[in-house]
Structure 1
Amino acid sequence: MRPDLPLLLCALHSFGFAAFHLAFWRLFGWKRELAKVGLPTRAIVQILNLRLVYVFLGIGLLCLLYPAQLRGTALGRALLWFMVLFWIGRALEQFIFLRVNRPLVHVLTALFVLGAALFALPLRA
């Protein structure tokens, strides 16, 4: 079986974001920073982050294990469109919620746009 390059790139992008989100505790000093907010907020932030890791790992695995179904079925194409819209929405949310003019924030925004483009690639055929 020949690897499906666009879906392999989607999988790598998803796995990269899963790893990035697993690093949030250290990167953002969550032990210290989240201690400043109430227990419900602290719990919600961490739970949502772990659920995103789960989603990214699942999407990455689907891209690797079911390329023909993603490209060739209505459900697969709907899932690809879902991810295109997910990444477009995430890029737009940068401008709404994270109005920080720093190079790394711009790199992240570009990676969100890249995600939309990558998940759109298998839809063109």
Structure 2
Amino acid sequence: MKELLNNPENLLIIGAIYHIAFVVFHLLFWKLFDWVEDLKKLSFTNKAVMQIMNLRLIFVFLVFAYISYFNGDELLNTKLGLTMTSSIALFWGFRSAEQIFYFGVKNIASNLLFLVFVFGTLLYSWVFFVGFNSN
């Protein structure tokens, strides 16, 4: 485990897989949450906004996965890369807090998602920490 934690390149590969999993999850939103029916209850504008935001999140997750997999050296050794890793950590940190704020703590599935989001926070915080200390 210590070897894994001290090898940020491997952690970034884990991060890429993590983000691809979110791409798949978000692509399934229409089916998982019965959006075809549920979104009919919204106004035209809100229905469009919900779907556009989900599609943009899918794009963001693809970008996070791509740069984590193909640009590890830059993420670890440049100011822009460190800004990016800290931003990804903050993205997941805020998402963790929002999970509790909006969904509470009484639902097991929600709590599991919270832990998944915390994992992303810790993963990219550690990558930032290792990269920051090596520069």
Percentage of matched positions with identical amino acids:
33
**Which residue is equivalent to 1:10?**
15
**Which residue is equivalent to 2:83?**
78
Q: 2:8·2:127 contact (CA, 8 Å) conserved in 1?
A: no
Secondary structure at the residue paired with 2:12?
helix
TM-score, normalised relative to structure 2: 0.87
Deviation at 1:112, TM superposition (A): 0.4
Q: Distance in 2 between matches of 1:3 and 1:107?
A: 25
The question of 1:115 aligning with 2:123 is answered no
Deviation at 1:78, TM superposition (A): 0.2
Number of equivalent positions: 124
The question of 1:68 aligning with 2:78 is answered no
TM-score, normalised relative to structure 1: 0.94
What 5-or-longer segments of structure 1 have no aligned partner? Answer: none
What 5-or-longer segments of structure 2 have no aligned partner? Answer: 1-6, 131-135
Query: Is the alpha carbon distance of 1:77 and 1:50 closer, same or farther for their aligned partners in structure 2, counting shifts above 3 Å?
Result: same
The question of 1:44 aligning with 2:49 is answered yes
Q: Distance in 1 between matches of 2:84 and 2:8?
A: 19
Deviation at 1:102, TM superposition (A): 1.6
CA offsets, 1:16-57, max 9 Å, x none? 111101100000000000001101100000000000000001
The question of 1:21 aligning with 2:34 is answered no
Quote the RMSD (CA, aligned, Å).
1.5
